[in-house]
A and B are shown apart, each in its own frame.
Chain A
């Protein structure tokens, strides 16, 4: 099956610094990627939709200047948490839609744990 890879899987950063998380579709082209945030024992919260070559669409309440999303190619999207604070500590998950699939299959990455100290 299609694979979506996230890196790093775990990252610890100091408060005030920025951290970048990568999301790659390994065996398919993804015109659309999605970034989610998940708190323990809760559902996935969509943060933004990332379209290749255009600006991301952010969900209501998500600060676009804090969570910078870049989708420079059909296989790579990045999420940069700028000036991170402890409240940004969370599990960040990306997903990607296979543009060539006949249906609407969306595959998820393994997630990235961010801890801000």
Chain B
């Protein structure tokens, strides 16, 4: 019930391409779904987050698509750049709840 499954484990994308990372959750009580970006040796930084009352949220080149019925959400990075190369984690928890449940992470490499 607490799992968040993330795929793929790693991803290589050409510069200018679209990077897509997928996550699926089990606990229907989750209602907050953030994505974090982590560079080597640094803490995770909040990238974008969505709540289940919307199906899509866009901030610059980053878009979250959310499918409540399928219990899935994904991160799309448009016009991917080498500087986007990092590890991305999806997460989920309940609003005003405490624990964030993290996916396993996706190592993204954008080739120039």
The A interface is mostly helix, strand or loop, or mixed, namely strand
Interface string of B9-37 (1 = CB under 8 A from A): 00000000000000000000000101010
Which one of B44, B49, B95, B107 lies within 8 Å of A108 (CB-CB)?
B44
B97 touches A104 (CB 8 A): yes
A108 touches B45 (CB 8 A): yes
B43 touches A43 (CB 8 A): no
**CA A6 – CA B1 in complex, angstroms?**
32
Mark out the residues of chain A between 93 and 117 whose CB falls within 8 Å of any chain B CB in the assembled complex: 93, 95, 97, 103-111, 113
Question: How many cross-chain pairs have Cβ atoms below 8 Å apart between A and B?
Answer: 57
Interface-lining segment among B52-60, B61-69, B73-81, B98-106: B98-106
Which one of B32, B36, B99, B105 lies within 8 Å of A49 (CB-CB)?
B99
A104 touches B44 (CB 8 A): no
A32 contacts B by Cβ under 8 Å: yes
Q: How many chain A residues touch B (Cβ–Cβ < 8 Å)?
A: 25
A104 touches B102 (CB 8 A): no
Instruction: Take A43-B102, A104-B32 as given contacts and tell me if A6 and B43 are in contact as well, using a CB distance cutoff of 8 Å.
Output: yes
Mark out the residues of chain A between 1 and 50 whose CB falls within 8 Å of any chain B CB in the assembled complex: 1, 4, 6, 32, 34, 41-44, 46, 49
The B interface is mostly helix, strand or loop, or mixed, namely loop
Residues of A within 8 A of B (CB): 1, 4, 6, 32, 34, 41-44, 46, 49, 91, 93, 95, 97, 103-111, 113
Residues of B within 8 A of A (CB): 32, 34, 36, 41-46, 49, 51, 89, 93, 95-100, 102-105, 107
Name 24 A/B residue pairs within 8 A (Cβ), A-sorted.
A34-B100, A41-B105, A42-B105, A43-B89, A43-B103, A43-B104, A44-B102, A46-B99, A91-B41, A93-B43, A93-B44, A97-B98, A103-B51, A104-B32, A104-B93, A104-B96, A105-B46, A105-B49, A106-B34, A106-B100, A108-B43, A108-B44, A108-B46, A109-B43
